[in-house]
Amino acid sequence: MDKPIITIVGAGKVGSALALLLAKKGYRVSGIASKSISSARRVAEQLGVTATDQPATVTPSADIVFITTPDRVIAQVAAEIEANGGFKPGQVVFHTSGAHAAEEVGVARRSGALAASLHPLQSFADVQMAMENLPGSYFALEGDPEAMPLAEAIVRDLDGKSFRIEARDKALYHAAASIASNYLVALMHLATGLYSRFGLSREEAFKALSPLVRGTVRNIEQ
């Protein structure tokens, strides 16, 4: 059975990684859209597809639209696509924000599309790291019930695991993820800075502290 056709709107780390990974799994990519045309071209050239800074020119040919822009502009981008006739009945429109509910792309429902969020519970330093880290990660799914089976299938194809949450729980979900990830970054920054007080560079301090951190994580897992 043929895989769905996808379009990516927002060629950042997550969007680029999703396009490249899902293409390897047999999903057909109709195009890559991004505010930065150079970012869109970097991914599109690898896949041999169209790159554009006008999302509504490529979204109509897709079964699935991923809006992977920064959180602050998800709703704005979705509204612009809808206003330009870029959504269609039967499509599923996903965003990948951990903080926002599916309603951020709810405007797509006016065109008969479904709205959902598919958030990878993972952090990414760059596109290559995103491609390496996504497989095996957990994904939080939320949105229109009819979109959930497709979301779960996408996660399986990414070799991930999924769980569903309610829109009202997105803030709590995102807060917990930030504590586990962002706070660790802040703590490592603080700790490596303290080691400079007795002469170690931040790089040397990081190398010294990293085995301790990895050991602690293993202990927590046990």
Residues 6+ apart with CB under 8 A from 120: 14, 96, 134, 137, 138, 139, 160
Q: What is the mean pLDDT of residues 129-158?
A: 96
Per-residue pLDDT, 182: 93
- 147 contacts 115 by C-beta, under 8 angstroms: yes
pLDDT over 90 at 125, yes or no: no
User: What does the alpha-carbon distance between residue 32 and residue 168 come to, in Å, rounded to a whole number?
Assistant: 31
pLDDT in tens, 154-212: 999 999 999 999 999 999 999 999 999 999 999 999 999 999 999 999 999 999 999 99
- 94 contacts 67 by C-beta, under 8 angstroms: yes
pLDDT over 70 at 62, yes or no: yes
